[in-house]
Amino acid sequence: MTLPRQAPSQFAPPSRQRRYTSPSSPTFYLTIFLFFLILTLITPTPTNAQLPMSRRRAAFTQYNNQFFIQGGIPATAGGTGDLSALILNSSWPTASPAWTTLASGNWVWHHAMVSVRPEHSAGLGSTSTKGFLLTVGGYPPPLNAFFSVYNLQTGTWANLTTMSPYTGLEGHTAVADPATGLVYIMGGYYNLNPPNPSVGNLLTVFDPKTGTVVSRVEATNANNMTGASALWSSRRKTVLLFEGSRAVATGDVNAIEITAVREYDTTAGLWKTFVSCRCFAFV
Ligand SMILES: *[C@@H]1O[C@H](CO)[C@@H](O)[C@H](O)[C@H]1NC(C)=O
Ligand SMILES: *[C@@H]1O[C@H](CO)[C@@H](O)[C@H](O)[C@H]1NC(C)=O
Ligand SMILES: *[C@@H]1O[C@H](CO)[C@@H](O)[C@H](O)[C@H]1NC(C)=O
């Protein structure tokens, strides 16, 4: 039997063993200390840009070098309609991030938000040279306000008269195709009181150019989802979907194991499986 040459082993001759630093030696602790010291020195200090109000289940989007966040459940419970914007393309002191508080929208959470460019906004009820923020659904079900818009030029909100595609929908994600403006609303659920069935959305497409829902496909038990994340791949011209959990009753979430990123080809109207290589540099 031959032992591997380099493996430290109890059979190694004493002269070889002395080369290893014993875990209890001062040199060992000094090395560990220096390692963490260097790590601390080279790691950038995280930027502290806390929101004007802490909250969860808010909707957010990024548009024209600004980050927008609206609605949600504040730490103190209840709900909020607050809309805040953070400038991303100029520097600000970390102690006072450049948040701006804008006009409040609907009191809603677990909804989704996308931006709409001026050239795609003809169906949104007013004109805006700066475009719009569009919020979709959420909880409590925003009756007669399933689609709501914030006009970035006038700084005012309006509810669209577009019929709601569902009684209620929460936990969905939304993404817009930058070329067509079409908004792809994926996933989401609404648990009606028993014995009524719950509602699950797979894909609803909204056109801001006409202010209409152009298509809707309900989810099944096999493909319903809540808390997924969708993003537009400008290189592949498709929607990449990173799933969250099955849409079951709150408190009983059932996480979906991500073995592959799902992809929706908006041109062909097809769902595909995007093989995961654990290296998402193509996005
Ligand atoms: C930041 O982006 C906005 C919108 O694109 C632009 O109007 C503004 O000039 C930019 N500011 C800086 C400092 O680059
Ligand atoms: C939108 O509708 C909600 C009721 O669902 C209402 O509370 C809110 O005031 C409306 N917003 C506007 C801007 O009219
Ligand atoms: C989602 O699917 C699960 C089973 O995978 C089912 O228990 C649940 O009722 C479904 N929810 C909706 C909203 O369809």
Mutating to test ligand 2, I would choose from 106, 135, 161 the residue with most ligand atoms within 8 A of its C-beta, which is 106
Question: Does pLDDT of 133 surpass 80?
Answer: yes
Burial of 169 (0-12, 13-18, 19+ CB in 10 A): buried
Question: Does pLDDT of 6 surpass 50?
Answer: no
* Ligand 1 close to Cβ of residue 64 (< 6 A): yes
User: What percentage of residues in the chain have a pLDDT greater than 90?
Assistant: 60
Tell me how far apart the alpha carbons of residues 164 and 68 are, in angstroms, rounded to a whole number: 24
Residues with CB under 6 A from ligand 3: 189, 198-200, 219, 221, 224, 246-248
Q: Residue 158 CA: which ligand 2 atom is closest?
A: 13
Ligand nearest to the CA of 164: 2
Q: Which two tokens stand for residue 271?
A: 């769902």
Tell me how far apart the alpha carbons of residues 203 and 215 are, in angstroms, rounded to a whole number: 8
* Ligand 1 close to Cβ of residue 62 (< 6 A): no
Tell me how far apart the alpha carbons of residues 141 and 59 are, in angstroms, rounded to a whole number: 15
* Ligand 2 close to Cβ of residue 142 (< 6 A): yes
**Across the chain, what does the average pLDDT equal?**
85
Beta carbons within 10 angstroms of residue 112's beta carbon? 25
Q: For residue 64, what pLDDT band results from cuts at 50, 70 and 90?
A: very high
Question: Which residue has the least CA distance to atom 12 on ligand 3?
Answer: 200
Q: Residue 107 CA: which ligand 2 atom is closest?
A: 7
Q: Residue 148 CA: which ligand 2 atom is closest?
A: 1
pLDDT at 94 (0 to 100): 80
Question: Does pLDDT of 280 surpass 70?
Answer: no
Q: For residue 257, what pLDDT band results from cuts at 50, 70 and 90?
A: confident
The amino acid that residue 3 corresponds to is L
Alpha helices of the chain — where are they, by DSSP H? 14-17, 26-42
Q: Do residues 166 and 137 make contact, with C-beta atoms less than 8 angstroms apart?
A: yes
pLDDT at 193 (0 to 100): 73
Tell me how far apart the alpha carbons of residues 59 and 146 are, in angstroms, rounded to a whole number: 14
Q: Which two tokens stand for residue 82?
A: 């607050």
Residues in the chain: 283
Q: By three-state DSSP, how is residue 82 classified? A: coil
Beta carbons within 10 angstroms of residue 40's beta carbon? 9
Q: Residue 200 CA: which ligand 3 atom is closest?
A: 13
pLDDT 10s digits, 79-127: 999 999 999 999 988 888 889 999 999 999 999 999 999 999 999 999 9
pLDDT at 74 (0 to 100): 93
Ligand 2 centroid, distance to 29 Cα (angstroms): 63
Q: Residue 221 CA: which ligand 3 atom is closest?
A: 2
Q: For residue 35, what pLDDT band results from cuts at 50, 70 and 90?
A: confident
Ligand nearest to the CA of 200: 3
Ligand 3 centroid, distance to 192 Cα (angstroms): 12
Which residues have C-beta within 8 Å of that of residue 179, sequence separation ≥ 6? 237
Tell me how far apart the alpha carbons of residues 221 and 16 are, in angstroms, rounded to a whole number: 62
Tell me how far apart the alpha carbons of residues 68 and 115 are, in angstroms, rounded to a whole number: 9
Does the reported pTM lie above 0.75?
yes
Mean pLDDT of 41-68: 83
How far is residue 158 from each of residues 30, 119, 181, measured CA to CA in Å?
63, 19, 19
Tell me how far apart the alpha carbons of residues 63 and 229 are, in angstroms, rounded to a whole number: 17
